[in-house]
């Protein structure tokens, strides 16, 4: 059976991402994976995530852009980092702002309520916060998003945030909490710690 996965806001945690994909038994030729933005961070060492993300997409995964990817492009940071990383500029430039799949919408930050999808502003899709997740859902699909760490929305630190037609999956990898891979098909979450004292340890699999 084909499964549908989502992973967001890895912020350079490539090894943790690989660990979770292996833990879930992700099979590119069978399963589907949507990557929901912010693959890198301000630290240039996190730019090493770009080959990993591109490799996943070449294997069949889908990826949307996040605010960190747009910042790289707008400030020409990859070109200044050297030719080896500058080669990823065309890859980042072609990333869409959202992906529709089955009854899900995958978008980095969210959408502005009441605005048709085709009329959404790009800066909202990569940057909106409470104007999105604090409003009642009215869309015909469940929105899977990252950008705002779930503990800032009301979830316990390192846990998913789930409301009607809303699923927040940024569980704070950037902040030393947890990195989470979500399997939407069977409502399972695979996660590991990103705390420097136990990085990629404490692997958990839970259902929601």
The 10s digit of each residue's pLDDT in 160-178 is 999 999 999 999 999 999 9
Is the per-residue pLDDT at 60 higher than 90? yes
Nearest residue to 34 via CA among 12, 66, 1? 66
Instruction: Look up tokens 């990817």; give the residue.
Output: 69
Q: Residue 122 and residue 71: Cα distance in Å, rounded? A: 13
What are the tens digits of pLDDT across the range 105-129?
999 999 999 999 999 999 999 999 9
Lowest mean pLDDT segment, chosen from 17-21, 32-36, 80-84, 126-130: 80-84
In our burial notation (b when 16+ CB lie closer than 10 A, e otherwise), range 26-39 reads beeeebbbbbbbbb
Burial class for 158, CB neighbours closer than 10 Å (0-12, 13-18, 19+): buried
- Token pair listed for 130: 């409470």
Lowest mean pLDDT segment, chosen from 77-86, 148-157, 197-206: 77-86
Is the per-residue pLDDT at 38 higher than 90? yes
| Contact in structure between 141 and 103 (CB atoms under 8 Å) | yes
Sheet holding 4-7, edge to edge: 62-63, 32-35, 4-7, 178-183, 188-193, 204-207
Please give the share of the chain, as a percent, with pLDDT higher than 70.
Answer: 99
Is the per-residue pLDDT at 81 higher than 80? no
More confident residue, 85 or 81: 85
Q: What is the pTM of this model?
A: 0.96
Q: How confident is the model at residue 95 (pLDDT cuts 50, 70, 90)?
A: very high
Q: How confident is the model at residue 7 (pLDDT cuts 50, 70, 90)?
A: very high
Is the per-residue pLDDT at 93 higher than 80? yes
Domains of the chain, with CATH numbers?
4-207 (3.60.21.10)
What's the 3-state SS for 8-57? Answer: CCCCCCHHHHHHHHHHHCCCCCCCEEEECCCCCCCCHHHHHHHHHHHHHH
Is the per-residue pLDDT at 79 higher than 80? no
Q: How many CA atoms lie within 13 A of 51 on its CB side?
A: 5
- In the three-class reduction of DSSP (H, G, I as helix; E, B as strand; rest coil), residue 158 is classed as coil
Is the per-residue pLDDT at 83 higher than 70? no
* Cα-based angle 88, 91, 97 (whole degrees, multiple of 5): 130
Q: Residue 20 and residue 3: Cα distance in Å, rounded? A: 15
- In the three-class reduction of DSSP (H, G, I as helix; E, B as strand; rest coil), residue 153 is classed as coil
Q: How confident is the model at residue 84 (pLDDT cuts 50, 70, 90)?
A: confident
């Amino acid at each position: 059976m084909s499964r549908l996965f989502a992973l967001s806001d890895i912020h350079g945690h490539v090894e943790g991402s690989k660990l979770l994909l292996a833990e879930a038994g992700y099979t590119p030729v069978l399963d589907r994976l949507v990557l929901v933005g912010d693959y890198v961070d301000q630290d240039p060492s996190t730019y090493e995530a770009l080959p990993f993300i591109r490799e996943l997409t070449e294997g069949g995964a889908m990826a949307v852009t996040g605010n960190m990817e747009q910042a790289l492009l707008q400030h020409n940071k990859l070109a200044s980092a050297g030719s080896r990383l500058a080669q990823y500029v065309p890859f980042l430039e072609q990333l869409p702002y959202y992906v529709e799949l089955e009854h899900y919408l995958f978008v980095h930050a969210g959408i502005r309520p009441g605005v048709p999808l085709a009329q959404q502003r790009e800066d909202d899709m990569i940057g909106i916060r409470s104007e999105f997740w604090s409003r009642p859902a009215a869309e015909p699909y469940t929105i899977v998003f990252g950008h705002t760490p779930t503990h800032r929305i009301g979830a316990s630190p390192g846990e998913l945030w789930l409301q009607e037609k809303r699923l927040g999956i940024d569980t704070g990898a950037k902040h030393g909490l947890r990195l989470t891979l979500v399997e939407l098909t069977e409502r399972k979450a695979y996660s590991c710690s990103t705390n420097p004292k136990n990085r990629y340890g404490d692997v958990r699999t839970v259902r929601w």
